[in-house]
Structure 1
């Protein structure tokens, strides 16, 4: 970062590397001559070159959170944000999060660690979250991208440096200081953005957490999403694995555990080698008369078989992965549409292809119309922009960055095999021992997508604390404690995650 002073304006010039091009942007911080103040409300009066502040107020929403300065505004070109800066006891650090789905919403109070900032705020961080550069009706709404290439590029990755520098500017204005450390965290699409931060902007962040990252968005969203929609839709246009199907989940879980649990050498209720298990549904009886909870209809059996198998073309060539055994409990949450409403996974699949699937949008390019013989190659046109598959992390390593990547092995929305495949590519290119010094992958058995639903196994861990220790104290994350909590009983089971290719250990 290069500072330049002038009588009427102090400016920051920073450089952003994007697709091997060098851009220089200027953010004018204080052209009005106003002096910076630690008074929160005064921030709303300051003039920023690329930041428009709508409001700045002191807030105290929770006894577990510090009193903070809540700043709402927009970073050019159209990135809505909310920043939360502790009024006292700032820890001197900056925390930035990604956004899930297709973004479009500002959600600072998300209850879990998934694209949330309050768990960092509670530790004293100055934190910022955004809407991804556009406004949407829900996280599965991608209509904002229709014929809007600038919005697509901001969503793809350009929001990362723009938000980073805006956050640092606000910190400088409020605390009259710069952060000692900067961290990025995200899950799902936020995890994709986390990976993009390491790949495209390797010198911005000291540490990055990428959870359940949709690294291969074009194929996960385009090919797998279309496969799910087509496999799960009956002749009347209704979901086969619907709300009523949820009653059969426990039966399917038991079937998967009986076939897959012991493949890792231990019977502990955890499927740790899902790829080694090929689910057989023949032991589950067929439904004979009406609706029953201990059987499968022909449609249900066919749909499940297709989902386990994963997308193939007419030559039976595998195009992408299928769902893992153990993910059954999450299926109806993501895909169990009712007559009146579609579930999040269906909305995401429906929204991707017509709005983001091609460089030039085509409304007829949809999940139900996707041709698994002809259309997969078309998706490659958006791969460089949207996917986070660059295995060259040399610049990130040289900058001293640390990357924690994790994925639930029972995630049926963003399939974990793409994360494993990416990690293997990085180690093949850079060497496993070398990679182990700055990049670690942790797989979480039984966990679904980004804490959206509780797992039957331990799934609570403090990745931010682990990353802090790695970055600031050089404590190697060779063991991450993990727990399962019960509202009445407290911790009911615990264990530890081990870096891939090691497996988790449960007590």
Structure 2
């Protein structure tokens, strides 16, 4: 039976606010937020090379300015128009601790036909590379900010390699965390002014994963510099998430007969697929249709129990059941790992159909030893671990992970010591993330999306942030902020999901025209998709299945009669239980 749902006029009804009071307060809040004007386009008449000797900015070296012809860059089948490519670096120096050279490398791409907007492309992982400043959007990108006429900057965030050894340099830590943005933003706007004869009318900041963390930081620290913030899978508490990843690996290693060199022996693909099927059996129909997608992920957490809905092995493991120690280990991780006194220090994770996706397994099994170990040891821990010659060759992730005391790691990401005057949770996290009053009062907007099957940053952590933001705004965060859980999607992309979408232009329309999004249409990347095929899509899906992504707390709900492969058959509605 399809659950009864209703469409309230205010999303904050789900938080339990009084209807009459909320309506009046919401009207007052909307009236207090200014409406920003629309950006105006401009055409660059001069050749790119003509600017080589003219571009200047403080603490900046311009290495090159060149023309990039139309079609040299493509997104999907779309050719990027002719533009100028400016390459350079800022704040060159020698590290006081490790004696290595540092600088903030960047590239800035400036369209000949400019739409009057600036886009800061925040990159993921440990940064350390100047990625192409195209501002690509969606799981398999068909469009991007540069293609749509934005001036786009990309940077390495202050270090030249994506290795955690930069964490021995105190300033490199701070640049990676937040200061590179503070230095690059005015430089980029100065160059834009010199090239077009005017600065950007509107400025946008976007990124996913660590880039989403950068975007959350920008929404708090640099709200006066940006009008719109687009946040994907925000690791806004990245140091704690990395420690939680290590703690999860330790839990998996505790399962009897687990090989520490191959953690998937704790919870195999076959066993994960059994659990995924059990989750779907309990939760797939909560949105009105069995279609291989769990739209109502919150209700699913109540409906499904790994303890009772998955068979307990009575003999040997064969992939169709879990032993009791396995169930307890998985439940410990998904409820949120804790310190020794039982305090959860990061977040719980939702049970979702994507528990058996390959990306999800990589984050749970490989990442703790191959990625998070180095980041925690050298960047987030204060002081960083001793390492001969500051060389990654002298570090072994397993030797760090297995003997580590989680209490000590949690303390380390909150500590300061000697020349490391800011803790990791200070330089990496947005200060008071529930306070975005400057962005709000300036007329700015923020849109956040997060895959429900993300295996490293929990969508429930982002949900907690949004609820705190909503509370801090008297139940009216949706006047300037929206949160979009993406059913089935893994970390930034992929999974059993419709993960191809453009959330930037809806953000622009909201910022500059006051057109608040009611939904964002997303497409599956099946056979023939020009942005790249998602090989984790179920064979039963249409190659181009569409779904509405819905602003929290609404969920995509089937209308009971339409084409199950079409977004037109679904509406964003708030479950009565909320």
TM-score normalised over the length of structure 2: 0.71
* Structure-to-structure mapping, 1:52-451, within 5 angstroms: 52-59=61-68, 60-62=72-74, 64-77=79-92, 78-87=103-112, 89-108=113-132, 113=138, 119-137=144-162, 141-146=163-168, 148-222=169-243, 224-233=244-253, 237-241=260-264, 245-246=268-269, 249-263=272-286, 267-271=290-294, 272-273=297-298, 274-276=300-302, 277-280=304-307, 283-284=310-311, 286=313, 294=320, 303-326=329-352, 328-329=354-355, 332-333=358-359, 335-336=361-362, 343-344=366-367, 346-363=369-386, 366-381=400-415, 382=423, 383-388=425-430, 389-433=432-476, 435-451=477-493
Q: How large is the Cα RMSD of the aligned pairs? A: 3.3
Q: Shift of residue 111 of structure 1?
A: 6.4
Specify whether residues 428 and 195 from structure 1 end up closer, same or farther in structure 2 by C-alpha distance, changes over 3 A only: same
- Residue in structure 1 matched with residue 27 of structure 2 by the alignment: none
- SS of the residue 2:555 aligns to: coil
- SS of the residue 2:109 aligns to: strand
Q: Deviations over 1:129-186 (max 9, x none)?
A: 111111224xxx321112x111111111112222222221222222222211111001
Q: What number of residue pairs does the alignment pair up? A: 459
- Residue in structure 2 matched with residue 495 of structure 1 by the alignment: 547
Q: Deviations over 1:57-86 (max 9, x none)?
A: 222233521122222211225211121111
Q: Shift of residue 266 of structure 1?
A: 5.6
CA distance in 2, matches of 1:427, 1:134: 36
- SS of the residue 1:151 aligns to: helix
Q: Deviations over 1:104-126 (max 9, x none)?
A: 12222686547999711110111
- Residue in structure 2 matched with residue 484 of structure 1 by the alignment: 524
TM-score normalised over the length of structure 1: 0.81
CA distance in 1, matches of 2:107, 2:63: 10
- Residue in structure 2 matched with residue 7 of structure 1 by the alignment: none
* Structure-to-structure mapping, 1:459-478, within 5 angstroms: 459-478=499-518
CA distance in 1, matches of 2:353, 2:161: 29
Q: Shift of residue 233 of structure 1?
A: 4.0
Q: Shift of residue 252 of structure 1?
A: 3.0
- Residue in structure 2 matched with residue 45 of structure 1 by the alignment: 53
Q: Shift of residue 249 of structure 1?
A: 4.5
Deviates more, 1:280-289 or 1:400-409: 280-289
Specify whether residues 476 and 294 from structure 1 end up closer, same or farther in structure 2 by C-alpha distance, changes over 3 A only: same
Q: Shift of residue 493 of structure 1?
A: 2.1
Q: Deviations over 1:362-389 (max 9, x none)?
A: 3499443332345434433322222124
Q: Deviations over 1:349-407 (max 9, x none)?
A: 11222112233213499443332345434433322222124322111111111111121
CA distance in 1, matches of 2:282, 2:310: 11
Q: Shift of residue 411 of structure 1?
A: 0.8
Q: Shift of residue 218 of structure 1?
A: 2.7
Specify whether residues 287 and 37 from structure 1 end up closer, same or farther in structure 2 by C-alpha distance, changes over 3 A only: farther
Say whether the 8 Å CA contact 1:327–1:412 is kept in structure 2: no
- SS of the residue 1:400 aligns to: coil
Q: Shift of residue 427 of structure 1?
A: 1.6
Deviates more, 1:98-107 or 1:374-383: 374-383
Say whether the 8 Å CA contact 2:359–2:455 is kept in structure 1: no
CA distance in 2, matches of 1:373, 1:48: 45
Say whether the 8 Å CA contact 1:327–1:446 is kept in structure 2: yes
Say whether the 8 Å CA contact 1:249–1:328 is kept in structure 2: no
Q: Shift of residue 204 of structure 1?
A: 0.5
CA distance in 2, matches of 1:354, 1:502: 40
CA distance in 2, matches of 1:247, 1:86: 49
Consecutive unaligned residues in structure 1, runs of 5 or more: 1-35
CA distance in 1, matches of 2:446, 2:187: 23
Q: Shift of residue 466 of structure 1?
A: 0.7
